[in-house]
Amino acid sequence: MLLLAALLPACSKVFDFQRQRAEFRQECFGDHSVRCRVMMVDVGIAELEAGIEVLEQFEDKIVACRSQAAFDEGVELMREKIEHYEDMKPNRFMRIFMSGTEVEFEQTPFKRQREFDAFEASLPACRNGAPAKAEDVAAAAPSPVPVQSAPGVQGTIDANAPEAGAVLNTVAGALAKTVLDNGNTAITLDGRVLFSGEDATWQTPLRVFTLSGDREAILVGSSGGRGNSCETLFFFLVAGRDGITPSPTFGTCAPSAAFVQSGDRIALSIPKMGGHSEVVFDGGTVTADGAVVTLGADNDPSK
């Protein structure tokens, strides 16, 4: 949704989304209570509503670029995702009587996420009056595994999105963010705790990317544990039949990024002060702004 919200920041619903997001970050940093879970979902809904308002402002260009049917389908996708988010909210009893209680959040993936990502990826070109690329149109076909990214797909990641943390089925097993007996959370692989270091409780699996050689790269966000000055860092898990290996952590502390995958090359553009940091992962090495990121004690997500 980053691309949509960036198109027309003067929209009233965009301002409302920005206000709600700021309130959520200020009031709910590290808070997993029912109240904050509801606020998180409301932020996601506000972003989608802002996106619909933006689309309507650019309807003529999008129709000329794609078609009226594609525009209508894009709006419908966003309305379906709003309904998906509404279904994810804790029930009324929990909201009234358990608002301060910390709970495990049931986060299920949006079934049409791949179509949503493909539509969103076509918008910048449409805004500039260019025709949509053939691969963007082809990518909009339904996918049976919406949390996975086929090569050539582009889209956005938001570590604060309501669907972040949904169970991801990988070639190594099922990855999930799990509440442990001690009340902390950690990523588990088929029920086994993956990491137990200081950073483990903040880690959330976000998206699976298919690689060659029957491997996958799972992007993980680590949100918390570093104070309000650094909201989120990222790292990749490379999964194969023989297990999972982590990359070094990287990022600018921003919780969002745009991605493009081409073969085994995954490029991330992460906002930073005055611009963006360009990160490339080739299935083995992380390069940030042209410099190789070396795994060490200070950026090892397993420690």
pLDDT score of 140: 38
The domain segmentation of the chain, as residue ranges, is 2-146, 157-163+208-293
Mean of pLDDT over the chain: 79
**φ/ψ (deg, to 5) at 141:** -65, 145
Q: 121-178: per-residue pLDDT in tens?
A: 777 666 555 444 444 434 433 333 334 444 457 788 888 887 777 788 899 988 888 8
In the block, tokens 């963007």 appear at: 136
> Residue length, the chain?
303
CB atoms under 10 Å from CB of 100, counted, come to 10
pLDDT (average), residues 173-187: 86
CB atoms under 10 Å from CB of 214, counted, come to 10
- Which string of b and e fits 114-142 if b means at least 16 CB within 10 Å? bbbbbbbbbbebbbeeeebeeebbebbee
Please count the CA atoms within 13 angstroms of the CA of 119 that sit on its side-chain side.
Answer: 25
In the block, tokens 């050689």 appear at: 213
| Local structure of 230: helix, strand or coil | coil
Pairing mode of beta strands 203-211, 192-193? unpaired
* Continuous segment of H or E residues that includes residue 12: helix 12-27
Structure tokens at 18: 């920005």
Q: Which of 62-66, 194-198, 228-232, 254-258 has the lowest mean pLDDT?
A: 228-232
Q: 37-86: per-residue pLDDT in tens?
A: 888 888 888 888 888 888 888 888 888 887 888 888 889 988 998 998 88
Structure tokens at 15: 């301002």
Distance CA 136, CA 133 (A): 5
Q: Which of 44-58, 131-145, 211-225, 252-266 has the lowest mean pLDDT?
A: 131-145
